[in-house]
Structure 1
């Protein structure tokens, strides 16, 4: 069986979409099954690609992203004998009945106001069309599966949930080293709270900011990721750090007193697993699949009012035994997820579509 994937995001800046491809490829490398994986991209082969004789990197030049996605990529994959053509979100008609698309969530249908008009228009056209024409749809949680089948009825019966895992490079950093890094690089000492996200409206960063500013104790909130367009301001106790390196992010997770995830909606919630792996207690919203991912390892609150968040943060920071208990619960919960499991379920979908 020959599998072709759109590999342009492999090796790109760490986002949920790029982490998905990199993690899936890593998981496939752990399986002993017989297959050929064609990784097709307009970018050079990344140096950290798993060394696996079943993996073939094919560079397909092209600067027009839409033409590459809808014409160049599927035609090239078919010429290479692909039994399965796997993309994210969009899917060309040229993929035929061998096409599979991964849709992480349909938040653009659930909360259109969270998106710019142009983005909302493009997503509302490309994603439902991809779901309708795909031989199979992959998503990342049972919550997202239910939402996709409810909001795109044509996809019902063809959606499979393949939960994700934390990025392979996420590692807990020894406390002394981690505290030295966050002090030297960001001027953070002692207690601080952390949230990791581009500040789009869907991420609801204002709730985290308001919750922290409502606290009696002056604990700062560190925000990583680019500014976005939600109007969240930095300054004072709110520390906007911008993009951080992988090493810096691991140090932040490893020293933060708690991780806050106030999103209105998420299809999965990778940062929860990242925080769990690094021993950081998590307070998350009940938006989308976040409770599904959190299990019993996090404090789960509605995303609409900062007051309960302020109270939960203050109570957690004043209870060291509760923090230790949450760290242990987080370690156990994170260990339930693996890219091998993701790859096994995905490979079953590939076989169903390929008839092999």
Structure 2
């Protein structure tokens, strides 16, 4: 590839999210790839509005063309200024959206959940994403997604044709580089091995309500459910959920704190009704934390035989399966071993290599 490859860095100026984490890891892995190997002979630039939060790279140049653009709204920057400034470049958009007026793009769309689970999103969000997806799927040269399941969903909902979509699985090895911070154990009064981790998220498809019901059952009365993330107890209760007394809310935690919790948890529970990929289960596996997931969306594709599965609509199935993981040492050790082996096959270097092999097919040499 001889053209300049410009990464869309709009996400560096937004609140952190799982999608943004994937973009950061892909860019960092790409930087390592082009620094260490031949065959990626192009100029690479990360184009941002504000360089304050941007990491340093060995080969990728960080570009902020004009300080005045900080005053432009992120959407206007992405749709107007950015494609105009980089009109001769091939643009890589890694956070679902990208400029509609620039055809020479590869865009990573993580899932089709605005179609499959519309109740998880506001009306405005759904309409905006569906509008952009319609044109991105038809105008951009390449659509990338994170699982075969997401690919089938994007085809099913008419976002793009199957021959235009390439699957690039996420990596999870970044979690092994994070130093653990175990202070949350004392702060939440947790006993190692006797608590279960899950996301604090009220979106319907995340299905945390099933865990609240499971932890209200007698089988788990002596086990703590720790919910990490932005949603609070009051938000769950306002939606009509009953939060049992053995549930604790960790709030937003740092990466180091999350690693500290995963290293000490009895299990990670992930009961989503659908997922485009499902990165937290793989992160937990990499750290030796057993995983219980729902057999939904891309989770079987990602977790394989390295997780236990529980019916996403049956609280008793979750309480019994979690009890098995906590009490049966043979099962636990089997999951730990299989989980580490499974996680080893998902690396960011391989993801970056797969991404750029796909991009080569649509960018003339």
Scaled by the length of structure 2, the TM-score of the pair is 0.88
The question of 1:277 aligning with 2:286 is answered yes
The question of 1:218 aligning with 2:227 is answered no
The question of 1:48 aligning with 2:51 is answered no
Match for residue 111 of structure 2? Answer: 105
Q: Hey, what's the Cα distance between the residues in 2 that align with 1:296 and 1:225?
A: 27
- Which of residues 306, 323, 331 in structure 2 aligns to 1:314? 323
Match for residue 347 of structure 1? Answer: 356
The question of 1:335 aligning with 2:344 is answered yes
Q: Secondary structure at the match of 1:168?
A: helix
Unaligned runs of at least 5 residues, structure 1 = none
Match for residue 138 of structure 2? Answer: 132
The question of 1:185 aligning with 2:191 is answered no
Match for residue 198 of structure 1? Answer: 201
Q: Secondary structure at the match of 1:42?
A: coil
Residues 108 and 42 of structure 1: is their aligned pair in 2 closer, same or farther, counting only changes over 3 Å? same
Q: Hey, what's the Cα distance between the residues in 1 that align with 2:74 and 2:63?
A: 19
Scaled by the length of structure 1, the TM-score of the pair is 0.90
Q: Secondary structure at the match of 1:226?
A: coil
Deviation at 1:194, TM superposition (A): 0.4
Deviations 1:317-338 (A, max 9, x none): 1101211110111110000011
Q: Hey, what's the Cα distance between the residues in 1 that align with 2:150 and 2:50?
A: 30
Unaligned runs of at least 5 residues, structure 2 = none
Deviation at 1:11, TM superposition (A): 8.0
Match for residue 150 of structure 2? Answer: 144
Match for residue 82 of structure 2? Answer: 73
Residues 92 and 183 of structure 1: is their aligned pair in 2 closer, same or farther, counting only changes over 3 Å? closer
The question of 1:227 aligning with 2:227 is answered no
Match for residue 160 of structure 1? Answer: 166
Native 8 Å contact 2:107 2:143 kept in 1: yes
Residues 245 and 87 of structure 1: is their aligned pair in 2 closer, same or farther, counting only changes over 3 Å? closer
- How many pairs are equivalent? 348
Residues 172 and 94 of structure 1: is their aligned pair in 2 closer, same or farther, counting only changes over 3 Å? closer
Residues 145 and 222 of structure 1: is their aligned pair in 2 closer, same or farther, counting only changes over 3 Å? same
Q: Hey, what's the Cα distance between the residues in 2 that align with 1:94 and 1:167?
A: 35
The question of 1:90 aligning with 2:90 is answered no
Native 8 Å contact 2:48 2:62 kept in 1: no
Q: Hey, what's the Cα distance between the residues in 1 that align with 2:46 and 2:196?
A: 39
Q: Secondary structure at the match of 2:268?
A: strand
RMSD: 2.2
Deviation at 1:286, TM superposition (A): 1.5
Greater CA drift, 240-249 or 26-35? 26-35
